[in-house]
Chain A
Amino acid sequence: MVLLFGVIAFAGALSIYAIIVRSQLAPGSTRLLVSILFGGSLLEVLTLSFISPASTADVLLALVISWSLALAFTIANTAIEMDSPTQSLVIFLHDHRPNGVTEEMLDAFIIDRPFRDSRLRGLIADGLVERRGDWLVCRSGTQVLLYILNGYRRIILRNETTG
């Protein structure tokens, strides 16, 4: 029952987000996704626990299940709602089997998929980057995120990125 509560709460919240984005009620963004997945899951778990009473510990377990699924989906969402450049390339190459693709075809592929500007708009929409006239500037919250990721890379002694 606990397992079911947690999964249903996550699936319900995700469905609400998908409906909002698909019906164009609001543009998709990480901020909206986080609000709906975490807030919606909490409300759904509490509602389900009223419908079918469970112990406090089991309600907490259901909440942890839904929030852990919400966290995993939120982090993976940039490769679901948006396109991953690597995965797009893999599918592009597979679509052109068995001959493969030439440099010219890859050039056309790059022109058709301006990933960088797409991500830049996402960062602006999520409030991590702001425009000041002609300038693009990182906001203060960004430093915390970079501090965590770069700190982790320093700990594992990894110096080069391939982003």
Chain B
Amino acid sequence: MQAFALIVAACLALLTNMAAQVISHRHILRGRLAATLAAGFTVGFAALLIMCIATWLLTKPAEEFWYRFASAVLIYGAGSFAFLCLVAAAETSVRIELLRQLSAHPDGLTITELDALYNDRTLFHMRLDRLLEVGAIQKVDRYYRLTSMSLLFVARVFLAAKILIFGVTDEFGLKNQPSGLPFRDPGLRER
């Protein structure tokens, strides 16, 4: 009973997180995506705590409660992280942008046509402009410099995960490429 209640509590807290994020983005912090994600997480976590306290008061106290409570927090944290990544994907993912470009043309696109719409230079300069706009990097004279240590921390965490799990420092060093093709696919380029 207690375990079921905590699973439901974690799921409801996650839904609260999403609803709070949507409402705050529509009505309170319009356009400030990061702030609304933080607000959603905080409201959802508060809802989780309230529901866990209610579960603790309403069910028979058990030694396992704290482990189950920690489990509910972990489920909520993982779910919130997945939601954050999904929002980020909808916003900045190269894969999603490629799908948008291709789906806008039901008959498809050739590589040459795709090059004209979306290429490495386009996607890279979008990111450069965004980082300059938020002050994460600065351009002084003719030199770009990193100023955001929090972005560096996130990049290092992902780099550490890459090294730990896959044993490489970047995808271009991966021996296995999807579909077994060499990294530079001449078939894609020559069209």
Contact = CB atoms under 8 A, between A and B. Distances in A.
A79 B82 CA distance: 13
A137 B107 contact: yes
Contacts of B137: 93
A2 B71 contact: yes
B184 to A, nearest CB: 7
A42 to B, nearest CB: 16
B166 A101 contact: no
Interface string B113-139: 010001111011011101100001100
A80 B6 CA distance: 31
Given A121-B177, A125-B179, A161-B97, A156 B103 contact: no
Contacts of B58: none
Contacts of B94: 85, 115-116, 119, 163
Contacts of B30: 157
A111 B121 CA distance: 9
A81 B176 CA distance: 11
B121 A110 contact: yes
A-side interface mostly: helix
Interface residues of B, number: 98
B39 interface: no
Contact of B166 (A22, A94, A114): A22
Contacts of B96: 145-146, 149, 163
Interface residues of A, number: 93
Contacts of A88: 155, 170
A75 B100 CA distance: 18
Contacts of A2: 3, 64, 67-68, 71
Interface of A: 1-3, 6-7, 14, 18, 21-22, 24, 26-29, 55, 57-58, 60-62, 64-65, 68-69, 71-72, 75-76, 78-91, 93-94, 97-103, 106, 109-126, 128-129, 132, 134-138, 142-143, 145-146, 149-150, 152-153, 155-158, 161-163
9 contacts: A21-B166, A24-B176, A89-B127, A106-B124, A106-B128, A121-B178, A121-B181, A121-B188, A162-B126
